[in-house]
Chain A
Amino acid sequence: AQSVTQLGSHVSVSEGALVLLRCNYSSSVPPYLFWYVQYPNQGLQLLLKYTSAATLVKGINGFEAEFKKSETSFHLTKPSAHMSDAAEYFCAVRGNEKLTFGTGTRLTIIP
């Protein structure tokens, strides 16, 4: 069975500071990993996905994530936080035909 663990249900960073959202996965097969973002009262939107083509994956809005097999991690980063990045972020792992989501990390940007 596949699962993901997101460390930190709430993260606050200052505008312009580095954003780091942590995700660790567990998978019995080579995983496909995803990061989604959810803005208030909206559905989830794909930020980026890892499908084994490259370990460093670039997504929308300046976000990127690095797949590290040795650490079973897929952390999401952005060099400089913007006020518009305030949202909830979900890491997910694909197993068989299902996506299994983490519990989410709410990102707050401090002006």
Chain B
Amino acid sequence: DAGVIQSPRHEVTEMGQEVTLRCKPISGHNSLFWYRQTMMRGLELLIYFNNNVPIDDSGMPEDRFSAKMPNASFSTLKIQPSEPRDSAVYFCASSFRSGDSTDTQYFGPGTRLTVL
């Protein structure tokens, strides 16, 4: 299996620009998670989907952030407009949820975002 695929791996942009991060989960997984990692705040869950439906977006920082999952094979996290404080590593993870909470989340390699 190819694992969770994220693109791009690195993104450098200027303040005010729109940024789109992409994620392809592991085939067969039905849950998808977006995390952000910074030195100051550690790993934070931004949003997660179950069967392509957003379940909890309480971690999304503000309206500038949005996430979609149009199908089981693809998700995007968009920041518009971007700000320097959005600079972080963004991880996508996926899992197969079968009814309990013991499923393992598999993480992608991350996208390192730098907003100048």
Stretch at the interface among A18-26, A69-77, A95-103: A95-103
CB <8 Å contact, A43 and B91 = yes
Residues of chain A lying within 8 A (CB to CB) of residue B33: 99
Q: Bound state CA distance, A10 and B108, in angstroms?
A: 25
Q: In the complex the two chains form, what is the Cα distance from A13 to B106 in whole Å? A: 28
Distance of A42 Cα from B33 Cα, bound (Å): 17
Known interface pairs A51-B102, A97-B48, A98-B56; A43-B43 also in contact (CB < 8 Å): no
Contact B42 A44 (CB under 8 A): no
Bound-complex Cα distance A19 to B67 (A):
39
A90 and B33 alpha carbons, distance in the complex (Å): 17
Cβ-defined partner of A97 (8 Å) among B4, B56, B108 = B56
Which range holds the interface residue count of chain B?
20 to 34
Q: Are A43 and B102 in contact (CB under 8 A)?
A: no
Q: Is B116 interfacial (CB-CB < 8 Å)? A: no
Q: Are A101 and B42 in contact, with the CB atoms below 8 A?
A: yes
- Tell me whether B45 is interfacial, beta carbon within 8 Å: yes
B residues apposed to A, CB below 8 Å: 4, 31, 33, 42-43, 45, 48, 50, 55-56, 91, 93, 97, 100-102, 104-110
